Structure 1
Amino acid sequence: MKKYLVFSLLSVVLVSSAFITEPDKKSKINWLSLEEAYKLNKEYPRKIFVDVYTDWCGWCKKMDRDTFSDADVAEFVNENYYAVKLNAESKDKIIIGQDTTTSQMMARSMGVSGYPTIVYIKEDFKTIQAVPGYQKADAFLDTLKKVLEWK
Structure 2
Amino acid sequence: MKIKPILLAAACAATLGQALAGGEGWTHDFAAAKKQAAEEDKSLLIDFTGSDWCGWCIKLNEEVFQHDPFKEGVKDKFVLVELDFLRDKSKLSEETQKQNEELQSEYGIKGFPTILLTDAEGKPFARTGYQQGGPEKYVKHLDELLEARKTRDEAFAKAEKSEGVDKAKALVEALNAMGLEDEMVASFYGDTIETIKAADPEDETGFVKQIEMKQKFGKFESELNNFARARDHEKALAHVDETLASGEFEGEQKQQVALYKGMILAQQQEFDAALKAMDEAKEIAPDSELAGRIEDFKGRISQMQAQVEASKADEKGDSDE
Provide structure 2 residue ranges, at least 5 long, that are not aligned to the other structure.
1-22, 151-321
Larger helix percent: 2
Larger radius of gyration: 2
CA-to-aligned-CA distance 1:34-90 (integer Å, 9 cap, x gap): 222122123222101011101311211111111112221110111211011002467
Q: Where does residue 147 of structure 1 map in the other structure? A: 145
Contact 1:117 1:131 in 2 (8 A): yes
Deviating above 4 A after TM superposition, structure 1's stretches of 4 or more consecutive aligned residues are: none
Q: Where does residue 25 of structure 2 map in the other structure? A: 30
| Distance (whole Å) between structure 2 residues aligned to residue 41 and residue 80 of structure 1 | 9
SS in 1 for 2:122: coil
Q: Where does residue 49 of structure 1 map in the other structure? A: 45
What code does the residue aligned with 2:95 have? Answer: K
CA-to-aligned-CA distance 1:98-139 (integer Å, 9 cap, x gap): xxx621120222121111110110133211133244554344
What code does the residue aligned with 1:143 have? Answer: H
Residues 1:75 and 2:75 are matched in the alignment: no
Q: Where does residue 15 of structure 1 map in the other structure? A: none
Larger strand percent: 1
Root mean square deviation, CA, Å: 2.4
What TM-score do you get using the length of structure 2 for normalisation? 0.33
What TM-score do you get using the length of structure 1 for normalisation? 0.66
SS in 1 for 2:53: coil
Q: Count matched residues.
A: 118
Q: Where does residue 61 of structure 1 map in the other structure? A: 58
Contact 1:119 1:131 in 2 (8 A): yes
Instruction: Identify if the C-alpha distance between structure 1 residues 82 and 70 changes in structure 2 by more than 3 Å, giving closer, same or farther.
Output: same
Shift of 1:92: 3.6
